A and B are shown apart, each in its own frame.
Chain A
Amino acid sequence: MIEAALGEDLFGRAKHIRRDIVEMIYRAKSSHIGCALSAADILTALYFGGVLRIDPKSPKAPGRDRLILSKGHAVTAVYAALAERGFFPKEKLLEYGTDGTTLASHIVLDVLPGTETSSGSGGHGLPMGVGMALAARADKNGARIFVLSGDGELEEGSAWEAMLFAGHHKLSNLKLIVDRNDLQDGVDGLRVSDVLDLNPLDEKFRAFGWEVDIVDGHDPAALIPALKKETARPHAIIAKTVKGKGVSFMENRGEWHGKCPNADEYAIAIKELS
């Protein structure tokens, strides 16, 4: 068991976040449960592992670290983590998927404390992260910019434009976390490597002037030191993950990108996460 900076049991936190994800998506009859479960441990490490320098009481502090969610599909995981961290009350999560809510199925605006950018269209996070990293460098405020990306969305050219720029300008305050579950949307178990092979991803980052670490994306003991690491160049953390992690029948199954659990599946999922 890992004791986090906040003195909390990180595995317990991750379970809370996963239960909230399942709850939100089941109630909303929504989708993208596999994507959110995949990123739950990364978000736990960021928000509860003493990584992000943020304060729920002052969510707009100029020198705060930024987390840009580029993989908008995992928005329920971010909402759950923000509520768990105290940015807004947990009851707010029950609004997810209801008419008129500000909790969109992808982040819409920074209308919720703790969210930084809209998301939902792939390949947008890293360019915006580059801009924020440049601003933090100009302001010398010590802010670090974390971008959480899926691996499928690295098929977008905009991500590579930004990688090239960040490497050229040695943006050492920029970290890209790749949630590397290697599963593309689809019921037929399509792997990212079947669609457009990103391998060898670490070598690509190095060739673009980045430092790279490959870690187990579900192990806080591996994630936290990587996320805290100071580098001289932009830093890519390839977090090897399992889509649907934590719910046995969802793990590594592509169809849980778009499927919503039925009542029986919901009950089993909650039981497994208790």
Chain B
Amino acid sequence: MRFSVIETIYKAGLKDPNLCFITGDLGHMNTAEFRRDFAGRFWNAGMSEQNIIGMAAGLALSGKQAVAYSIVPFITLRCYEQIKVDVCDHNANVIIVGVGGGFAYGSAGPTHYSIEEVAALRVLPNMKIVCPVNPTETRVLTEQILRAGGPAYIRIGRGKEQDFELGYVPVLGKAGVLRAGTDMTIIASGTIGTEALRVADMLQEKGFSVEVANMHTIKPIDADFIADRAKSRRAIFTLEEHSVLGGLGGAVAEVLAELPARPLFKRFGVADIWPEVVGSQQYLRDHTGISAEKVALAIKRILS
């Protein structure tokens, strides 16, 4: 996904001389072409995220499109107030790309986890939030975000994500259906969508027809999709590699709560605690109850 996002931005930058790229000391290998071809509009600003977001806003207020790129917690929460004031209050054309959503930097520990930034960014007016599921979707949605303009946040994995056929053409702000089903809908966001597909497989073995939807755009949320499924499904579940508070699950719950009638609903995400262990991304997903096995087990219990 890193390669997909960088390649897409690079190609856009070849056509648009106003596109600028700032990295926070990340992607020395991936950004070699930027360095070579984008003199005067590519900067490695080092580990100085407050300055990076401020200068991205300054560039945008002078008519540029500025992309700010680094590891999720540093380029979102370290400089949160700059995102609030300099970017969102000015409605500035700044696109923040965060690498390593969720537990992608698992062994690096809690400083590198990102299980709260979607909630923090979602409350900022003007902000768009996109969490693609795989490299193909990253490419398509990055193109759309570049065209739509910032403020926007793209949350991607750390790298080496498997690509696969999506079965739909991603459209910013519209949920995509990764797998059809009629009994219940699992709404996932980000790379953990692959776990949601495995949950559907496991439940199918038990005779359930499970739809897997990919809410790649968390803001603006596709409220029409949620309202539609609320009418026709026995249950709706959300699955995210993020705190259960304020992210995808929170956004879907807000829509459901204001509908006249709603089906059974449960959020799957990271509980409101600090995981006290470190490990691989898959280990941490399982440890925090958001692996396919744990989610399938929980859904079976709920439905029985």
List the interface of chain A (C-beta within 8 A of B).
62, 108-110, 116-118, 120-121, 123-124, 126-139, 157-158, 161-162, 164-165, 169
Instruction: Name the contact of B50 in the complex, choosing from A108, A131, A138, A157 (C-beta under 8 A).
Output: A157
A73: min CB distance to chain B, Å: 15
Given contacts A109-B90, A157-B50, contact A132 B40 (CB under 8 A): no
List the interface of chain B (C-beta within 8 A of A).
20, 40-41, 43, 45-46, 48, 50-64, 66, 81-82, 85-86, 89-90
Complex contacts, A165 vs chain B, CB 8 Å? 45-46, 48, 51, 55
Residue of B nearest to A147 (CB): B58
B50 and A118: CB pair below 8 A?
no
SS of A interface (majority) = helix
Complex contacts, B54 vs chain A, CB 8 Å? 124, 126-128, 130-131, 158, 162
B58 and A118: CB pair below 8 A?
no
A131 and B81: CB pair below 8 A?
no
Complex contacts, A129 vs chain B, CB 8 Å? 58
B81 and A132: CB pair below 8 A?
no
A62 and B63: CB pair below 8 A?
yes
Instruction: Name the contact of B81 in the complex, choosing from A108, A121, A161 (C-beta under 8 A).
Output: A121
Interface contacts beyond A62-B62, A132-B58, A162-B54: sample of 10 additional A-B pairs, CB < 8 Å, sorted by A: A117-B90, A121-B81, A121-B85, A128-B54, A132-B62, A161-B48, A164-B46, A164-B51, A165-B51, A165-B55
Residue of B nearest to A169 (CB): B43
A134 and B59: CB pair below 8 A?
yes
Given contacts A135-B58, A137-B40, A165-B45, contact A127 B63 (CB under 8 A): no
Given contacts A117-B90, A138-B41, contact A127 B51 (CB under 8 A): yes
Residue of A nearest to B79 (CB): A158
B86 and A127: CB pair below 8 A?
yes
Given contacts A135-B63, A165-B45, contact A158 B82 (CB under 8 A): yes
A131 and B85: CB pair below 8 A?
no
Given contacts A109-B89, A118-B90, A135-B62, contact A161 B50 (CB under 8 A): yes
Instruction: Name the contact of B58 in the complex, choosing from A108, A134, A158 (C-beta under 8 A).
Output: A134
Given contacts A118-B85, A118-B89, A124-B82, contact A158 B50 (CB under 8 A): yes
Max chain B CB contacts within 10 Å: which of A120, A124, A129, A135?
A: A135
Instruction: Name the contact of B51 in the complex, choosing from A118, A121, A132, A161 (C-beta under 8 A).
Output: A161
In the complex, A132→B90 CA distance in Å?
14
Complex contacts, B45 vs chain A, CB 8 Å? 165
Residue of B nearest to A126 (CB): B54
B56: min CB distance to chain A, Å: 6
B85 and A164: CB pair below 8 A?
no
Complex contacts, A108 vs chain B, CB 8 Å? 89
In the complex, A118→B81 CA distance in Å?
12
In the complex, A259→B20 CA distance in Å?
44
Complex contacts, B59 vs chain A, CB 8 Å? 131-132, 134-135
Complex contacts, B82 vs chain A, CB 8 Å? 124, 127, 158
Max chain B CB contacts within 10 Å: which of A62, A116, A117, A123?
A: A117
Complex contacts, A135 vs chain B, CB 8 Å? 58-59, 62-64
Residue of B nearest to A133 (CB): B58
B62 and A130: CB pair below 8 A?
no
Complex contacts, A116 vs chain B, CB 8 Å? 61
Given contacts A110-B90, A131-B66, A158-B82, contact A117 B51 (CB under 8 A): no
In the complex, A117→B41 CA distance in Å?
22
Complex contacts, B43 vs chain A, CB 8 Å? 134, 169
Complex contacts, A110 vs chain B, CB 8 Å? 61, 90
A127 and B50: CB pair below 8 A?
yes
Residue of A nearest to B41 (CB): A138
Complex contacts, B52 vs chain A, CB 8 Å? 127
B58 and A127: CB pair below 8 A?
yes
A-B contact pairs, 21 of them (CB 8 A): A62-B62, A62-B63, A110-B61, A117-B90, A118-B89, A124-B82, A124-B85, A128-B54, A128-B57, A128-B86, A130-B55, A132-B61, A132-B62, A135-B59, A137-B40, A157-B50, A161-B50, A162-B48, A164-B46, A164-B48, A165-B55
Complex contacts, A136 vs chain B, CB 8 Å? 62
In the complex, A123→B81 CA distance in Å?
11
Complex contacts, B63 vs chain A, CB 8 Å? 62, 135, 139
B85 and A162: CB pair below 8 A?
no
Complex contacts, B58 vs chain A, CB 8 Å? 127-135
